[in-house]
Amino acid sequence: MMMLGVIVLLLSTTLGLVSSSSHRAAVPQTSKQRCFPDDFLLGTATAAYQVEGGWNLTGRTPSIWDDFCRSRDNVQCANVADDMIHRYVSDIAIMQAMGLSSFRFSISWSRVMTWHDATQRMVRNDAGIAFYHDLLDAMRAAQLTSVVTLYHWDLPSALHTHMNGWLNASIVGHFNQYAELMYDEYGAKVDFWTTFNEPWSFCVGGYGGGWHAPGITDSDTATYVAAHHVLLAHATAVQTHRSKHLTSKIGITLNSDMALPLDPTDDRDVEAAERKLQFSLGWFLNPIVHGDYPAVMKRRAGHRLPRFTAADSALLTQSYDVFMLNHYSTNVVTDCASTTYGQVASTKCFPLDEQAQGPTPSTDPLTSSTTSHWVQGAVTVGFVGPMLVAVMALAALVYRKQQQHRSSEQAGENSPLVPKH
């Protein structure tokens, strides 16, 4: 699945959130007096397992998502998916025709490396590595800025089977070995790196809730342990990247919905909304900025939340050149002990101790329902709401322009957007 979107890159060593009504004078003034700065990137994004297909080609071995899908009767495996492994040239042609300026894709760890029993390590797989060289070369020829994700949830099955994956501290070294190989192979061709895509999603969904691979549900600490190792792996990979003095920038892609109190006059709801943000965005952002978890997490999760050593904290602090954020919607939040709890449909306390809830799209007064349950309409409030409205409008304009372009062309072999088989 490809997603049309915006690559949000904050090129700074400090991060601040401002209200939508302030700092109007700070809007960048560009040479063409546009709404967006000259280096604004409008692009599309993919995840390897969701689009590549070729599950057994180029020496690829299974990931935990292959195993997860095959173990469930109601889940479709991505053996073919969008067949990007065969269609990337025509995909890039479509991006060019749409006027996009960037493409974010993820590398399949189990395509570029394979398990070696004798050494109990992952080793390089040249056929898989060659595929991404070809993809990056095609992108460079099309003048597409590259944003490469090292990990979009598809841990090699061997690392989960042999060492329990993200629950084992040694995964940090395995990930760094993989990251270093990728820097050495593609460093001259990549503009931006992101270590992980949405760690909250795969740590909570995969190691607590069970709706993501590997589907672990029998532990009240696994989510915290997995996230802890992810953060250390991120910081170590950033340190390795910086040691190579590459021209590319590196960061992490976090996800968070905005949280607003259901009753802004009730201190319990206000505090619940803050906890919701700390247990989603703050969980991963606070360590990479300040070197430690949010205080509310340490207080409420107690012994279940691992602690960083002084060396860990130093490694984590400022471990990003760019900050990337996936933001889908805004939630209305109430405290589970508040008088407003239960007044909204589908009221449910969030897990992991934060005691906050978000209503379903149909009951959320801030959004309107869409075809995706995780994208809830046109967000008009929140820390990036106005920006998203503008981007959605721009994306819709690009889409309409593309549709007009396609309808005006002769269908069939004369169209450069139709892949030849």
* CATH number (domain holding residue 186): 3.20.20.80
Answer with the one of 233, 255, 277 that is the final residue of a domain: 255
Beta strands in 46-156 (DSSP E): 102-106, 113-116, 121-124, 145-151
CA 363/CA 58 separation, integer angstroms: 47
Confidence label for 165 from pLDDT (cuts 50, 70 and 90): very high
**pLDDT for the residue 259:** 87
Averaged over 83-93, what is the pLDDT? 98
Answer with the one of 214, 240, 255 that is the final residue of a domain: 255
pLDDT digits (tens, 9 = 90+) for 40-67: 899 999 999 999 999 999 999 999 999 9
Does 192 fall in a domain?
Answer: yes
Residues 57 and 168 both lie in one domain: yes
Residues 133 and 212 both lie in one domain: yes
CA 224/CA 299 separation, integer angstroms: 14
Confidence label for 74 from pLDDT (cuts 50, 70 and 90): confident
Confidence label for 133 from pLDDT (cuts 50, 70 and 90): very high
Beta strands in 40-100 (DSSP E): 42-45
Residues 157 and 136 both lie in one domain: yes
The C-alpha angle with vertex 325 and arms to 321 and 331, in degrees rounded to 5, equals 150
Q: Which residue matches tokens 């070369």?
A: 137
CA 36/CA 65 separation, integer angstroms: 38
How far is the first Cα of the chain from the last one, in angstroms, to the nearest whole number? 21
**How many domains does the chain contain in total?**
2
Residues 196 and 274 both lie in one domain: no
List the domain range (segments joined by +) for residue 380.
257-288+327-349+369-410
Residues 231 and 339 both lie in one domain: no
Residues 131 and 165 both lie in one domain: yes
Residues 227 and 266 both lie in one domain: no
pLDDT digits (tens, 9 = 90+) for 90-100: 999 999 999 99
Does 4 fall in a domain?
Answer: no
Does 10 fall in a domain?
Answer: no
Q: Higher pLDDT residue, 9 or 107? A: 107
Residues 235 and 336 both lie in one domain: no
Confidence label for 400 from pLDDT (cuts 50, 70 and 90): low
Residues 141 and 225 both lie in one domain: yes
Which residues sit opposite 146 in a β-bridge? 103
Say if pTM beats, i.e. exceeds, 0.75.
yes
Eight-state DSSP code of residue 20: T
Smallest CA-to-CA distance from 65 within 51, 82, 84 is with 51
**pLDDT for the residue 251:** 98
Residues 229 and 261 both lie in one domain: no
Residues 133 and 158 both lie in one domain: yes
Residues 74 and 163 both lie in one domain: yes
